[in-house]
Amino acid sequence: MENMMQGNKIRRVAATRMNERSSRSHTIFRIILESKDANQKDGPVHISYLNLMDLAGSERVSLTKAAGERLKEGANINKSLSVLGNVIRQLSEGKEFISYRDSKLTRLLSQALGGNAKSLIIGNTNDPPRSSRWSRASLERKSKLHMGSRDESSRHGEVYIFDHVFKQECTNSDVYGSVVKPLVDSFMEGFNATIFAYGQTSSGKTHTILGNKTDPGLFQLVSNQLFQHVADQVDKRYLIRCSYIEIYNEKINDLLDKSNQGLTIREISKEMCCLMQGKLS
């Protein structure tokens, strides 16, 4: 936890007209869980990944009045979010070719988005919203119409289905209990999972992931559940590894080690992946 907080100090943030501490990079906090049967010395090792993503917010220059370096950052943020949107659309339409390689963000997430990996997108919205379509009142009203379980919003032929719409006064723990915990349960059962905080600038994405003393964020809540689970499973042995990186202007920087900047992505074959999971040995 302390390392994570240290990492946040070197994450790129800057003041814009929309947010005094606006994230200028996407961050990926990744937990890798390795587990094996405590009674089987050479038994298989199961590996699963959980990514907690604090995406930088999409920006409109007309609102942020960005110029110079801020403008360049904003352009990179918008471009990578657009690639992420394309990838998610291609996956949901079952396309054969998925354009993972169009941005560092999607390259790093390729294993966590495809296959039988599970994803959850938490859409944060501003108050007042930039568009009435995304106002809390509008979403809450529709949520009530749909008995609070699923919500649909349709305009220009687009249909959005929400698992849940939360009220303005809800806490990170409310979000965690309703929609995040089931995903973390799957992760501990061996599925790869990714949770995105997504939305416009200054809509509270970083607050969702990091929280504060009175309203702990998802990072703290996931860690609590994970370590409690590990402590309860006496017949299993676990290894937990973490990484915390940012993608800033298409450059990957290690937030846990200041000297480790401009990292390159190395890909491993599917066979090697299976070997690592103890399926072929």
Ligand X SMILES: Nc1ncnc2c1ncn2[C@@H]1O[C@H](COP(=O)(O)OP(=O)(O)OP(=O)(O)O)[C@@H](O)[C@H]1O
What residues make contact with ligand X under the rule CB under 6 A?
19, 21-23, 56-57, 124, 199, 201-207
236 is in an annotated binding site: no
177 is in an annotated binding site: no
204 is in an annotated binding site: yes
* Distance in Å, CB of 246 to ligand X, minimum: 12
**Secondary structure E strands in the chain:** 13-14, 22-23, 26-37, 46-54, 118-124, 151-155, 158-162, 193-199, 236-248, 251-254
* Distance in Å, CB of 259 to ligand X, minimum: 25
Amino acid at 94: G
99 is in an annotated binding site: no
Toward ligand X, which CB reaches closer, 51 or 206? 206
Strands lying side by side in the sheet with 118-124: 118-124, 193-199, 46-54, 26-37, 236-248, 251-254
Burial class (CB in 10 A: 0-12, 13-18, 19+), 263: middle
132 is in an annotated binding site: no
Output Rg (C-alpha) for the chain, integer angstroms.
Answer: 19
Go through the chain and tell me how many residues it has. 281
* Distance in Å, CB of 212 to ligand X, minimum: 7
Toward ligand X, which CB reaches closer, 25 or 111? 25
Pairing of strands 193-199, 118-124: parallel
Pairing of strands 22-23, 13-14: antiparallel
171 is in an annotated binding site: no
* Distance in Å, CB of 218 to ligand X, minimum: 12
Residue with tokens 């600038």: 201
Toward ligand X, which CB reaches closer, 48 or 202? 202
Toward ligand X, which CB reaches closer, 35 or 126? 126
* Distance in Å, CB of 40 to ligand X, minimum: 44
Toward ligand X, which CB reaches closer, 113 or 211? 211
Four-point Cα dihedral 23, 26, 27, 32, nearest 10? 160
205 is in an annotated binding site: yes
User: Which residue ranges make up the annotated binding site for ATP?
Assistant: 199-206
User: Which residue ranges make up the annotated binding site?
Assistant: 199-206
